[in-house]
């Protein structure tokens, strides 16, 4: 029913939601359960091994927020409100198809929202220990992941063997590896993609075979010298844009306004240290591990979310990304009322300014475009500063 | 060669003309904003050039800045008010390390080092901490802005205004008036509440010398309240309303100079 993509992966991923819709509908018809997920801590491998289709339900729409605010406080993160608005309006087909929603005790806003959501939806909540350095924390989390496995077995009437888990690990390793290779293209002096375009090269549902083929195709294309429209490689007549590392909250489907205005102001976002970017794909799982559940739990537990204390892994990750992607500045995005990222931004700023020696800008906003013009002023001023400094350094050499 | 700067602010339009050869100020003008910003900018620009005995085509390059910068059809290019403000103040106070700017609809603190802007912080999501809020209070107290500054200097016990929002602060002022608080204490309370907002915007990073710009810098005593909240004295910039337009004109001059030998 879709128009042909002419072998263009950009067109394929431009239709990502429709692709996922078709895939989930077909899977459902074959009797596969659809399992909604709301966070990158959810181990997709467990769901895949149980025959489920893991689909991300995080809301990126401004339109569902007013409905959510009739129940939830206005002063709450837009991602939580938007997700909850879809739940109330029953307007997210993937949520309506979901046989189960898996979630974790991450931030307070989410976990309290889940209490209300679970009144009318079947949910499995995992307890996420938040002191990542404690020796017993990983063991505790591993037990939670094991409970998810047995829970899915009981609910869906299946038996999940270690081999099933290893197959799921290999599938997800492949997907993460392909997405990493695409993201690594941004390390080039003239990246063949914009950050905004790269953000589109992913899917709400993991492990769709057609997506994996398209990732391969895209990598081949760009490694052969192709350039996405508007990318620095495409616009060779223009000076290279300012390289920006974005960090902070995820920019889920529909909530891409900030990265768009940053790149429209004359920058290219070369690295995205967030859950819709590099954060969940930096690490793989050993498919040969004796205890695959533990190996899976460990990978996911390493995710450096600001709900963790002390979240030293995020600083280490930023240090590594700075070395690999060579940004000229760091912009942190914090969704309004996201307490953990907002408070942690103090440490991130200090690290970026003092250790990396780069200018830092924090943008705190929500899904409403009302402040776009004002945010543009800040971003433009930051880019003017970076360019002026680069020019002065050039002159001194 | 003459460079022009147009600063389309929320409350006023400003035009500055500078000589690109010797960096001398040639002419400056300002006018209250009207809805048709492009027309106001064009008229003010012509008026200012005529005042200097020039015609518009004598101006080699024009840089636009301020919130209305995209509407300035006369500008050759645009630069943000942060860069322009820094450039303008640096030309007057070369050793400046911090700039506090309180304009009509936003307030900002700019941190500089020897190389220019290092960092900045802006409040632009609400009216509290802006000139707009001061104007609203002055209207409530039935005085002009300079009179309000004068009035505040007589305060012995500044009123405490807790509201973080200009709308709620207005109702707080209404209650204070109803409870019989003196207008001098209310005026002082309002200045202090703005000064505290700026202090939290600046955090612990404000380094001397600090320069105060924006139309509010002309209100008598405003700098004292800021100094009290910030724990640092501030120098009021010469002609503090015009510094961003001056910076824009200087950037226009620099762009002309660097474009010349290159091609």
Nearest by CB to A378, from B79, B116, B122: name it. B122
B117·A374 Cβ contact <8 A: no
Residue of A nearest to B116 (CA): A385
- Do B181 and B83 share a domain, yes or no? no
Residue range(s) of every CATH 3.40.50.11890 domain in chain A? 9-164
- Check pLDDT > 70 for residue A3: no
Residue scoring higher pLDDT (B116 or A12): A12
Are the C-beta atoms of residues A365 and A375 closer than 8 Å to each other?
yes
Strands A53-56 and A100-104: unpaired
pLDDT tens, residue by residue, A263-301 = 999 999 999 999 999 999 999 999 999 999 999 999 999
Residue of A nearest to B108 (CA): A378
| Statement to judge: residues B104 and B230 lie in one domain | yes
Contact flag A371-B118 (C-beta cutoff 8 Å)? no
The DSSP code for B123 is: E
- DSSP string of B193-236? HHHHHHHHHHTT---SSEEEESGGGGSTTHHHHHHHHHTS-EEE
pLDDT for the residue numbered B168: 80
Which residues in chain B have Cβ-Cβ distances shorter than 8 Å to A377?
A: 67, 80-82, 122, 124
Q: What b-and-e string marks burial along A70-91, b requiring 16 or more CB atoms within 10 Å of the CB?
A: eebeeebbbbbbbbbbbbbeee
Contacts of A181 (CB under 8 A, 6+ apart): A215, A219
Q: Do B6 and B88 reside in the same domain of the chain?
A: yes
To the nearest whole Å, the CA of B186 is away from the closest chain A CA by 30
Q: Indicate if B123 and B74 belong to the same structural domain.
A: no
CATH number at residue B14: 3.30.420.40
The average pLDDT across A172-184 equals 98
B81: which chain A residues are within 8 Å (Cβ-Cβ)?
Answer: 377, 381
Chain A closest-CA separation from residue B80 CA (Å): 6
Mean residue pLDDT across chain A: 96
CA distances from B91 to A338, A389, B13, B206 (A): 41, 18, 21, 20
Q: What is the pTM of this model?
A: 0.93
User: How many other C-beta atoms lie within 10 A of the C-beta of residue A49?
Assistant: 27
* Residues of B with Cβ-Cβ distance to A378 under 8 angstroms: 82, 120, 122
What's the CATH fold of domain A9-164? Rossmann fold (3.40.50)
Q: In A, which residues are within 8 Å of B82 by CB distance?
A: 377-378, 381, 384
Stretch A98-125: mean pLDDT: 97
**Is pLDDT above 80 for A1?**
no
For residues B113 and B228, membership in a common domain is answered with yes
Number of separate domains in chain B:
2
Instruction: Let me know whether B112 and B200 are in one domain.
Output: yes
Residues B12 and B139 in one domain: no
Nearest CB partner across the interface for A385, out of B81, B116, B125: B116
A384 and B125 within 8 Å at the Cβ level: the answer is: no
> B125 touching A, CB under 8 A?
yes
Is the domain of B117 the same as that of B232? yes
Provide the pLDDT confidence category of residue A4 given band limits of 50, 70 and 90: low
The 10s digit of each residue's pLDDT in A38-91 is 999 999 999 999 999 999 999 999 999 999 999 999 999 999 999 999 999 999
Of B80, B115, B116, the CB nearest to A377: B80
- Strands B77-78 and B59-65, by their bridges, are parallel
Is B81 part of the contact surface with chain A (CB cutoff 8 Å)?
A: yes
Domain that holds residue B229: 98-236
**pLDDT, mean of residues A363-375:** 94
Distance between CA A351 and CA A322 in Å, rounded? 12
Residue of A nearest to B105 (CA): A374
Identify the pLDDT of residue B261.
54
User: What are the residues facing A123 on neighbouring strands?
Assistant: A101
Q: What is the pLDDT of residue A2?
A: 53
Q: What is the pLDDT of residues A307-361, one digit of tens each?
A: 999 999 999 999 999 999 999 999 999 999 999 999 999 999 999 999 999 999 9
**pLDDT tens digit sequence for A151-171:** 999 999 999 999 999 999 999
Q: Which CATH architecture has domain A179-396?
A: 3-Layer(aba) Sandwich (3.40)
Looking at the structure, tell me whether residues B252 and B219 fall in a common domain.
no
Is there a single domain that holds both residue B221 and residue B114? yes
Q: What pLDDT does B191 receive?
A: 93
Let me know whether B59 and B106 are in one domain: no
pLDDT above 70: percentage of residues in chain A: 99
Per-residue pLDDT of chain B (263 residues; tens, 9 = 90+): 899 999 999 889 999 999 999 989 999 999 999 999 999 999 999 999 999 999 988 999 999 999 888 888 889 999 999 999 999 999 999 999 999 999 888 899 999 988 889 999 988 667 777 888 899 889 999 999 999 999 999 999 999 887 767 778 888 888 999 999 999 999 999 999 999 989 988 888 899 999 999 999 999 999 999 999 999 999 999 999 999 999 999 999 999 998 865 43
Q: Which residues of B touch A373 (CB under 8 A)?
A: 67
How close, in Å, is residue B216 to chain A by CA atoms?
21
Q: Which residue of B has its CA nearest to A384?
A: B83
Same domain, residue pair B133 and B199: yes
| Domain(s) of CATH 3.40.50.11900: residues in chain A | 179-396
């Amino acid at each position: 029913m879709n128009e042909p993509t002419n072998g263009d992966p950009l067109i394929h991923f431009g239709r990502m939601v429709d692709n996922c819709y078709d895939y989930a509908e077909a899977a459902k018809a074959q009797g596969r359960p659809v399992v909604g997920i709301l966070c990158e801590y959810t181990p997709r491998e467990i769901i895949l091994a149980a025959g489920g289709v893991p689909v991300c339900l995080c809301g990126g729409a401004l339109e569902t927020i007013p409905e959510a605010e009739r129940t939830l406080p206005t002063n709450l993160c837009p991602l939580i409100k938007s997700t909850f608005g879809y739940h109330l309006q029953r307007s997210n087909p993937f949520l309506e198809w979901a046989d189960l929603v898996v979630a974790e005790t991450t931030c307070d806003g989410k976990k309290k929202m889940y209490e209300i959501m679970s009144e009318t939806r079947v949910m499995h909540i995992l307890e996420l220990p938040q002191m990542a350095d404690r020796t017993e924390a990983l063991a505790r989390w591993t037990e939670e992941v094991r409970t998810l496995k047995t829970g899915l077995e009981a609910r869906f009437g299946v038996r999940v063997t270690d081999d099933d888990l290893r197959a799921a690990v290999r599938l997800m390793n492949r997907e993460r590896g392909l997405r990493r290779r695409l993201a690594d293209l941004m390390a080039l002096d003239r990246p063949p993609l914009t950050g905004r375009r790269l953000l589109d090269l992913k899917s709400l549902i993991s492990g769709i075979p057609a997506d994996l083929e398209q990732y391969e195709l895209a990598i081949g294309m760009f490694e052969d010298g192709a350039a996405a429209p508007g990318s620095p490689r495409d616009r060779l007549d223009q000076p290279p844009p300012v390289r920006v590392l974005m960090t902070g909250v995820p920019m889920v489907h529909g909530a891409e306004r900030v990265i768009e205005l940053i790149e429209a102001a004359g920058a290219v976002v070369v690295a995205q240290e967030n859950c819709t970017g590099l954060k969940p794909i930096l690490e793989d799982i050993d498919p040969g591990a004796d205890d695959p559940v533990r190996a899976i739990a460990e990978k996911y537990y390493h995710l450096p979310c600001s709900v963790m204390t002390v979240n030293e892994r995020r600083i280490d990750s930023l240090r590594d990304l700075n070395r690999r992607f060579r940004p000229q500045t760091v912009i942190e995005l914090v969704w309004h009322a996201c307490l953990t990222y907002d408070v942690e931004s103090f440490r991130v700023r200090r690290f970026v300014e003092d250790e990396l020696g780069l200018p830092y800008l924090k943008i705190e906003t929500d899904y409403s475009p009302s402040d776009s013009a004002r945010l543009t002023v800040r971003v433009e001023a930051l880019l003017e500063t970076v360019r002026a400094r680069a020019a002065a350094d050039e002159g001194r050499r | 060669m003459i460079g022009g700067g147009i600063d389309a602010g929320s409350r006023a339009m400003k035009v500055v003309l500078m000589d690109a050869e010797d960096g001398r100020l040639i002419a400056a003008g300002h006018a209250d904003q009207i809805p048709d910003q492009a027309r106001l900018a064009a008229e003010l620009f012509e008026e200012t050039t005529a005042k200097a005995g020039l015609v518009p085509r004598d101006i080699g390059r024009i840089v636009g800045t301020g919130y209305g910068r995209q509407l300035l059809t006369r500008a050759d290019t645009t630069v943000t008010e942060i860069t322009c403000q820094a450039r303008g103040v640096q030309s007057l106070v070369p050793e400046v390390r911090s700039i506090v700017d309180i304009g009509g609809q936003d307030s900002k603190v700019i941190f500089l080092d020897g190389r220019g802007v290092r960092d900045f912080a802006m409040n632009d999501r609400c009216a509290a901490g802006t000139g707009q809020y001061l104007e609203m209070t002055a209207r409530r107290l039935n005085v002009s802005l300079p009179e309000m500054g004068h009035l505040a200097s007589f305060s012995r016990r500044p009123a405490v205004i807790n509201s973080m929002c200009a709308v709620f602060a207005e109702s707080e002022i209404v209650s204070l008036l109803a409870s019989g608080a003196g207008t001098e204490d209310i005026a002082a309370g309002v200045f202090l509440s703005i000064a505290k907002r700026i202090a939290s915007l600046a955090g612990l990073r404000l380094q001397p010398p600090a320069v105060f710009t924006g139309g509010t810098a002309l209100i008598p005593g405003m700098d004292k309240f800021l100094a009290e909240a910030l724990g640092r004295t501030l120098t009021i910039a010469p002609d503090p309303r015009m510094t961003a337009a001056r910076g824009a004109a200087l950037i226009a001059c620099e762009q002309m100079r660097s474009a010349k030998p290159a091609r």
